[in-house]
Copies of this chain bind each other. A is one copy, B any other.
Amino acid sequence: MPVLIVGSIALDTVKTPAEEHADLLGGSASYASVAASFFTSAQLVGIVGSDFPQAHVDYFQSRQIDLEGLQKVAGESFRWSGEYMTDMNVRETRSVALNVFEHFTPHLPESYRQTPFVLLANIAPALQSHVLDQMARPRFVVVDTMDLWITIAKPDLLALLARVDLLILNDSEAKLLTDETNLIRAAEAIRGYGPQYVAIKKGEHGCLLFGDPAKQEFFSCPAFPLANLHDPTGAGDCFAGGLIGQLAREDTPEITFEQLKRAVVSGSVVASFNVEAFSLERLRTLEPKEVEDRYLEFGRISRF
């Protein structure tokens, strides 16, 4: 089954203590749709300017990503620039130019409106809701968000959460959204807002998946041990894309917690590869066999 993915498409400039690169392919929907493409076919909804390199479009197509929902308009593409400190967990945004993204209204082609699996990658929650408004009843909706929207658009975010199945966010965002310092209590509070499932990402500490506590639905996914992170940009988007891609690949009428566990591991696998090089470079050479092998590795490092 295909997955529909909406989010940002950007040209990034990224600086780490070791390197700096400009005009990299970036944005939440770019990372997520390429990540998903290792598991199923993706339908990409986003916007780019007239400066957007054809090479990036060609790359999406080489990954079998459907671009009917990609709007190309006059003007400059969304640009983001960020810098990572010696501790690669600390990032500073150096500049943001929304450009054509400022007036983006996601419009779904007719052929996307019945797609059963939906990832609302990280963009403003009002836009994420607008996508759902255009869809028939999807089977499973995953939403990713960030601290910015919790701070400036919390009512929009809460309205959206009542309509989704799984919320992905990181640990500090979970605490910010719920005013809880304990992640177990934070996840319970979030489930009270609507989503049946919550995935809390903890960077180098892995990820926690929460479902119904009465059914003991709890999963702790390890982080893959990496001695060198080259560029953490897009790790969260790859996680979300790999997760929804794996769900769509299994394509069952009902989504079980066991399936969601496998999906969380699949997302973690793609994210762990993505941080091994700048931008999407590592994913360009990634082979299905490597994805399968690392999935097994995730099992090996947590089994006892």
Residues of chain A touching chain B, judged by Cβ–Cβ distance below 8 Å, are 86-88, 181-185, 188, 202, 204-206, 208, 216, 218-223, 225-229, 258, 261-262, 264-265, 298-304
Q: A86-B181, A219-B301, A220-B302 are in contact. List 7 more A-B contacts (CB 8 A).
A: A88-B181, A182-B229, A205-B206, A206-B220, A258-B304, A262-B304, A265-B304
- Whether B87 lies near A181 (C-beta < 8 A) is yes
Closest to A202 in B: B205
What are 20 pairs between A and B in contact, CB < 8 Å?
A86-B181, A182-B226, A182-B229, A183-B204, A184-B225, A184-B226, A202-B205, A208-B225, A218-B225, A218-B301, A220-B225, A220-B301, A221-B302, A221-B304, A222-B302, A261-B304, A298-B304, A299-B304, A302-B302, A302-B303
Separation of A229 and B219 alpha carbons in the complex (Å) = 20
- Which chain B positions have C-beta within 8 A of A185? 227
In order of increasing CB-CB distance, the 8 nearest A-B pairs are A220-B222, A205-B205, A261-B304, A184-B227, A302-B302, A87-B181, A184-B225, A220-B301
Separation of A216 and B294 alpha carbons in the complex (Å) = 13
Instruction: Kindly provide the distance from the CB of A4 to the nearest chain B CB, expressed in whole angstroms.
Output: 26
Separation of A181 and B87 alpha carbons in the complex (Å) = 6
Separation of A30 and B87 alpha carbons in the complex (Å) = 36
Closest to A220 in B: B222
Instruction: Kindly provide the distance from the CB of A16 to the nearest chain B CB, expressed in whole angstroms.
Output: 13
Separation of A298 and B222 alpha carbons in the complex (Å) = 13
- Which chain B positions have C-beta within 8 A of A265? 304
Closest to A222 in B: B220
